[in-house]
């Protein structure tokens, strides 16, 4: 049985690795956190002592890490790329920078290793349920070769284009998602100030043209109950928004609204705790921050 290496066993990576193990794959994983490694061991994942050990002789290496710089460090500095056999496939499922992804793919190619990008949307719930949307970038035949693995973790796999296309699409998606959530939070604040009940507003909006994933799920599931427990950090959302806006600027397609939304999210990030969930942007809006009062 071909071994699948998996580096990054946090909120998203752990349930994704677990689903692969439950599907009958031999998964050997690593995370910098000892606690994460212990939890993964309970899920049927063989725990490695480092990234290179997780990658050793693996036909596929999956990465679910916070940033492009950490992806680069794992592959190049920690020796994961050198540990892979020729013809292996690296699947970077992190929310990485598209141009950096292309550069890493070029570094991998001389070794006979193909790097494809396959970031996800759907959050921790989607990872646990196996209902993620996966946006893949890379050579079509290599994406097809790992499609069964991707389908064990998600219900929708979209081949977005060449390497880097998945990461570009994910950043664009999160720019939209973040803008929706900010606008929806501001709209609820206006309605409350008028005397409307949030639940009644969402009931009407979700049957009307103003609905979005934020009004249908994020606000009722995490904001109104006050749990703010989506499992996706506010800092990570700001990072993804920044990737999308920077990409637009580099391509001569600067997003005016996106840039304004990013500036407000950055203000919220500076005001809220460093470990704040991204849905806490609504709490920041309700407090009247950022000139919203």
Active site residues: 170
CA gap 143, 139 in Å, rounded: 6
Cα torsion 200, 122, 151, 17 to 10°: value is -130
Q: What angle do CA 83, 84, 88 make, to 5 degrees?
A: 175
Helices (H), the chain: 13-22, 34-41, 51-55, 68-72, 80-83, 98-108, 123-129, 140-145, 147-153, 165-194, 198-205, 213, 234-250, 256-271, 281-286
Please provide the size of the chain in residues.
Answer: 293
**Consecutive H or E run containing 210:** none
Secondary structure class of 271 (helix, strand, coil)? helix
b or e along 51-66 (b: 16 or more beta carbons within 10 Å of the residue's beta carbon)?
Answer: bbbbbbebbbbbbbbb
Identify the three-state secondary structure at position 23. coil
Contact 238, 220 (CB under 8 A): no
Task: Let me know the angle formed at the C-alpha of 270 by 264 and 271, rounded to the nearest 5 degrees.
Answer: 90
* Pairing mode of beta strands 26-30, 120-121: unpaired
């Amino acid at each position: 049985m071909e071994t699948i290496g998996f580096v990054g066993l946090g909120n998203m990576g752990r349930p994704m690795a677990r689903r692969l193990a439950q599907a009958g794959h031999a998964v050997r994983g690593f995370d910098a956190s000892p606690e994460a490694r212990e939890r993964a061991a309970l899920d049927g994942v063989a725990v490695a002592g480092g990234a290179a050990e997780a990658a050793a002789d693996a036909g596929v290496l999956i990465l679910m890490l916070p940033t492009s710089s950490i992806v680069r460090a794992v592959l190049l500095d920690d020796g994961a790329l050198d540990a892979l056999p020729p013809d292996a496939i690296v699947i970077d499922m992190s929310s990485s920078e598209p141009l950096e992804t292309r550069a890493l793919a070029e570094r991998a190619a001389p070794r006979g290793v193909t790097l494809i990008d396959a970031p996800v949307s759907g959050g921790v719930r989607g990872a646990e349920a196996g209902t993620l949307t996966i946006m893949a970038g890379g050579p079509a035949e290599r994406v097809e070769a790992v499609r069964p693995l991707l389908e064990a973790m998600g219900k929708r796999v979209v081949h977005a284009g060449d390497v880097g296309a998945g990461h570009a699409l994910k950043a664009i998606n999160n720019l939209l998602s973040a803008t929706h959530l900010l606008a929806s939070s501001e709209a609820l604040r206006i309605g409350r100030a008028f005397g409307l009940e949030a639940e009644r507003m969402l009931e009407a909006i979700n049957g009307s043209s103003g609905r979005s994933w934020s009004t249908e799920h994020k606000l009722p599931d995490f904001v109104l109950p006050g749990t703010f427990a989506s499992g996706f950090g506010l800092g990570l959302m700001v990072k993804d928004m920044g990737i999308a806006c920077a990409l637009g600027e580099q391509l001569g397609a600067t997003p005016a609204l996106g840039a304004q939304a990013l500036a407000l999210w950055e203000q919220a990030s500076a005001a809220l705790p460093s470990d704040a969930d991204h849905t806490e942007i609504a709490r920041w809006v309700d407090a009247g921050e950022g000139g919203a009062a």
